[in-house]
Amino acid sequence: MSARTLFDKLWDSHVVNVEPDGTALLYIDRQLVHEVTSPQAFEGMKMNGRKPWRLASLLATPDHNIPTADRDKGIADPVSRTQVETLDANCAEFGITEFGMNDPRQGIVHVIGPEQGFTQPGMTIVCGDSHTSTHGAFGALAFGIGTSEVEHVLATQCLWQKKAKTMQVRVEGELKFGVTAKDIALAVIGRIGTAGGTGYAVEFAGSAIRGLSMEGRMTLCNMAIEAGARAGMVAVDEKTVEYMRGRPYAPKGEQFEQAAAWWRSLVSDAGAVFDAVEELDAAAIKPQVTWGTSPEMVVPVDGRVPDPAHAPNAVKKSDWERALAYMGLAANTPIEQINVDKVFIGSCTNSRIEDLREAAKVASWAVAQNRKVAGNVKLAMVVPGSGLVKAQAEAEGLDKLFTAAGFEWRDPGCSMCLAMNADRLEPGERCASTSNRNFEGRQGQGGRTHLVSPAMAAAAAVFGHFVDIRVLAHEVMQ
């Protein structure tokens, strides 16, 4: 057989049927379910008297609407509460495993899937959420779907799909101290644009990617959707296999070794041809900060807000002007002179234990320097990705470091990434955020979002404005 890409292998092993026009019926191994995009799907199932095809393929948790403080008081907003209760009721009615709001394993779907070993290499994984691309970090084919397709997978265990083109994004070399997977993701999006990956399944490869932890790979694949990609993925290696070992839903004993042998084959063959290739030099990537209202509007922290006068074309010029007006920024402002009002450390992009450890190093340094969250910062919040991440962080004392430095330590959920719960920006407020989207209104109507890595967000909290983490790195990040 000719050399195949990882995507080819994942695709080929899941095709149930192909129609004459090339549309394939693809088998889906796993579906993660949350409260926002599932109620209409369950309603459709009930109206048609249908049952889920395979219950063991499903895992549900509420995450988008969940309060991150005073959870014992329940959800104050009655509309949010109804949505979460609807998920509880649907899971109970259909017999679907759910980590409910007060389950210690509850968390953001894209954090708990891997954490539980529910996400496994070689699988097809879907969820009614665009950031499902996260799970591609495991050598899986994972992508977001709409509610009609949520229902379709519930009822048939399959989806109709046209095969995507393949793109390899190769990042070679070593990342500089203080530069993270988040910065790679933003640098890639800055390079290819938010539509650069449209129609492609993107495989991240190269020595810098192999050098990333599984959590870093999840951050990177998570943001593949912000480049427009159908899916993001990373080939399996020993880090992948070791991550899986001992997870609650992972295969056990002899079956683990049998599975691992297959997982290790989930790499692109030597000589496999991609439809497109992008190459980046890891050593040249600097910490990134978005300045506008699209993730492609990004510059290095030592850069300046761009000038629309230098935009490459008329459409971009008007986009940039509109973005600057919305963001309340003047062209040519140095990024490090931008003050922030709030800081959000969390989301399915950056709320795992390693993210919190990186941010906590800054908090720890601040405490040692007798510093705290800067006076102009009204709120700096840390929202762990799951109950288990929270427990781990507390076992390591990270919560104490954060609170000593003036950060708020919250309960797990999507929180201010999209502000469906009570955590949000007020109009005009500016936020350093470790989330994934800086769209207008994303974190609250009129709110202004700057996307950064966890350590960069924590440093912005302490200084009250963006700072180059590399300058602090040798002091802080030890």
Partner 1 sequence: MKPFTRLDGLVAPLDRANVDTDAIIPKQFLKSIKRSGFGPYAFDEWRYLDHGEPGMDCSARPLNPDFVLNQTRYQGASVLLARENFGCGSSREHAPWALEDYGFRAILAPSFADIFFNNCFKNGVLPIVLKAEIVDKLFREAAGAEGYKLTVDLAAQTVTTPSGEAFAFDVDPERKHRLLNGLDDISLTLKFTDQIQAYEARRKGEAPWLFA
Do 373 and 405 touch, CB atoms closer than 8 A?
A: yes
Among the candidate windows 11-19, 397-405, 449-457, 460-468, which touches partner 1 by CB under 8 A? 11-19
DSSP 173-211: S-PPTT--HHHHHHHHHHHH-TTTTBTEEEEEESHHHHT
The helix (H) or strand (E) run that includes residue 46 is helix 39-47
Determine, following the binding rule CB under 8 A, whether residue 162 of this chain makes contact with partner 1.
Answer: yes
Q: For residues 63 and 399, which CB has a smaller minimum distance to partner 1 in the complex?
A: 63
Determine, following the binding rule CB under 8 A, whether residue 442 of this chain makes contact with partner 1.
Answer: yes
Instruction: State in angstroms the smallest separation of the CB of 121 from partner 1.
Output: 11
Q: Which of residues 459-478 bind partner 1 (CB under 8 A)?
A: none
Q: How many residues bind partner 1 (CB under 8 A)?
A: 77
Burial of 98: CB neighbours in 10 Å, binned 0-12, 13-18, 19+: buried
Out of 294, 347, 349, 433, the residue judged to bind partner 1 by CB under 8 A: 294
Return d(Cα 181, Cα 221) in angstroms, integer.
9
The helix (H) or strand (E) run that includes residue 151 is helix 147-156
Among the candidate windows 127-135, 273-281, 374-382, 400-408, which touches partner 1 by CB under 8 A? 127-135
Instruction: State in angstroms the smallest separation of the CB of 14 from partner 1.
Output: 8
Residue positions counted in the chain:
478
Q: Which of residues 135-154 bind partner 1 (CB under 8 A)?
A: 143-149, 151-152
Among the candidate windows 100-108, 165-173, 365-373, 435-443, which touches partner 1 by CB under 8 A? 435-443
Return d(Cα 31, Cα 89) in angstroms, integer.
18
Instruction: State in angstroms the smallest separation of the CB of 243 from partner 1.
Output: 16
Instruction: State in angstroms the smallest separation of the CB of 125 from partner 1.
Output: 11
Among the candidate windows 102-110, 156-164, 267-275, 391-399, which touches partner 1 by CB under 8 A? 156-164
CA angle 75, 78, 80 (to 5 degrees): 65
CA angle 376, 426, 34 (to 5 degrees): 120
CA atoms within 13 A on the CB side of 36: 18
Among the candidate windows 327-335, 350-358, 404-412, 436-444, which touches partner 1 by CB under 8 A? 436-444
Q: Which of residues 61-80 bind partner 1 (CB under 8 A)?
A: 64-65, 77, 79-80
Closest CA to 129 of 347, 296, 297, 289: 347
Q: Which of residues 356-395 bind partner 1 (CB under 8 A)?
A: none
Return d(Cα 311, Cα 314) in angstroms, integer.
7
Instruction: State in angstroms the smallest separation of the CB of 356 from partner 1.
Output: 25
Q: Which of residues 17-56 bind partner 1 (CB under 8 A)?
A: 17, 19-21, 23, 25, 27, 29, 36-37, 39-40, 43-44, 48, 50, 53-54, 56
Distance of CA 113 to the CA centre of its chain: 12
Instruction: State in angstroms the smallest separation of the CB of 291 from partner 1.
Output: 15
Phi, psi of 353 (to 5 degrees): -60, -40
Return d(Cα 385, Cα 63) in angstroms, integer.
9
Pattern 301-340, binding to partner 1, x per CB under 8 A? --------------x--xx--x------------------
